[in-house]
Structure 1
Amino acid sequence: MGMREEIQADLAEAFDDPDGLADAVLPVAGARSIKGGYDPAIGGTVPASTLYYTGRGVFGSYLAKEIDGSRVQTQDVKLLVLQNELFEGQADAVTAIPAEPKIGDLISGFRTLNVSEDPAKATWTVQLRK
């Protein structure tokens, strides 16, 4: 088992553990608008659509030393999501297409301002703002 899988397994266990993070873990629902346009492959226009994705994560706040008043504001929310639990639609892990949050997405009623991943590519850290 590689480092990524170990981190994801340990975090998933902490997410499920009633003595761990289980009381802080919440469902995450994201949506991204995809503009329509001309598609030469089909010889016509493709209508606009919306991509939905779901998972679970831990919503938190930024430390005082991280808040600079412009890029990170006091009301911003930090979301930690396991990459292996974020999927398009309501699918399960067997048939699902992995999802990646993007700047501009709406996640659980917040607008996405920044998305980063840890060096092992196991989690997404998402900056959200109302």
Structure 2
Amino acid sequence: MGMREEFQTELAEAFDDPDGLADAVRPVAGSRTVKGGYDPAIGGTVPATTIHYSGRGVFGSYLAKEVDGSRIQTEDVKLLLLQNELFEEQGGQVSEIPAAPKIGDQVSGYRALNVSEDPAQATWTIQLRK
């Protein structure tokens, strides 16, 4: 088992552990609208589509020393998501396609301002703002 898989397994166990993070873990739903454009193959425009994804994560806040009043504001929310549990939804069913959040996505009632991943590519950290 590689470092990424081991890290994801340990975090998933912490997310499930009643003595760990289980009481802080929340379902997460995100969406992104992808603009349509001209498709020469069909000789016309393709309509905009909306990509939905879901998973689970821990919502938190930023430390006082991280808040600068500009890039990070007091009301901003920090979200930690497990990458191996974030999947696209198609037709009301969760697919096997892994999802990658992007800046501008709508995530659980917030707008994503910044998206980063840890060096092991096991988690996403998203800065959210109302």
TM-score interval, normalised by the smaller of the two chains:
over 0.9
TM-score calculated relative to the size of structure 1: 0.95
1:9-66, Cα deviation, whole Å (9 max, x unpaired): 0000000001100000000000101101101233321101110000000000000110
Q: Secondary structure at the match of 1:97?
A: strand
Runs of 4+ in structure 1 off by over 3 angstroms are none
Q: Secondary structure at the match of 1:9?
A: helix
Aligned counterpart, 1:60: 60
Aligned counterpart, 1:107: 107
Q: Where do 5+ consecutive residues of structure 2 fail to align?
A: none
Task: Output the CA distance in 2 between the equivalents of 1:22 and 1:87.
Answer: 20
Aligned counterpart, 1:127: 127
Residue 14 (structure 2) pairs with residue 7 (structure 1): no
Letter in 2 for 1:63: L
Fraction of identical pairs, as percent: 80
TM-score calculated relative to the size of structure 2: 0.95
Task: Output the CA distance in 1 between the equivalents of 2:52 and 2:46.
Answer: 18
Task: Output the CA distance in 1 between the equivalents of 2:40 and 2:12.
Answer: 43
Aligned counterpart, 1:26: 26
Task: Output the CA distance in 1 between the equivalents of 2:41 and 2:63.
Answer: 49
For the aligned residue pairs, the C-alpha RMSD in angstroms reads: 0.8
